[in-house]
Amino acid sequence: MKYLKIILLSFFIFSCEGRDSYDPTINFETISNLHAPVEGGQGLNSSGPFTKFDFETSSETNSETNWDIAFRGTSVIINGGSSLNNDSEPERNGNAGAYIFNGTLAALEIVDENLFTQDSEQGYAIQTGSGNGWYNYTGSPDHLILPIPGRILVFRTRNNGYAKVEVLSYYFDAPDNPDAFDDESRYYTFNYVYQSEPGNTSFN
């Protein structure tokens, strides 16, 4: 928790051309060093508690209900659907959904409700594994986890708000050229935009 730093971004960091006035329901933020430890295994075979995150408060949370997404190693789950029958997963008690948009954060202006899926016994809405979800694994000799450029994670939150997320780094303090043998991993840095008005699918 102590490593979680919230930095409010300027309105103009993202492309907001055509907007006549500031919309208080839309928040632009960067989260740095959100720690997502894992106790063993990879992907669907990993174990240990998830680090839960709430878009509304822009913070990590221990709440059993007020969370939208959660992280464990490279896995990202949502507060919607059902678990993989894994006792270490938090209970899904919201209406969250997810899909992946190919493009830039600014290019995604309207959420497509038809694309949302939820976690289930068959797998997570944000798929695990290199190249399937948000990251690539480089393999030997570098053994790096690197975000895939142009992969934007789109979420319907537990209470029918919306968020779009760009993962920037999986390493502590988001080094430009991470070294898997020197830089601490499982520390997420990501940009996100949050539309807090329930049912409003626009980020404009």
88-110 pLDDT, tens digit each: 899 999 999 999 999 999 999 99
Integer angstrom CA distances of residue 125 from 48, 83, 155: 19, 11, 10
Q: What is the mean pLDDT of residues 40-58?
A: 84
CB 78 within 8 A of CB 107: no
What confidence tier does 17 reach under pLDDT thresholds 50, 70, 90? Answer: very low
What confidence tier does 51 reach under pLDDT thresholds 50, 70, 90? Answer: very high
Integer angstrom CA distances of residue 17 from 24, 44, 62, 97, 107: 16, 41, 37, 28, 11
pTM over 0.75: yes
- More confident site: 189 or 86: 189
Measure the CA angle with vertex 148, ends 150 and 188; round to 5°: 110
Q: Give the model's pLDDT for residue 22.
A: 54
Is the confidence at residue 20, as pLDDT, over 90?
Answer: no
Q: Give the model's pLDDT for residue 84.
A: 83
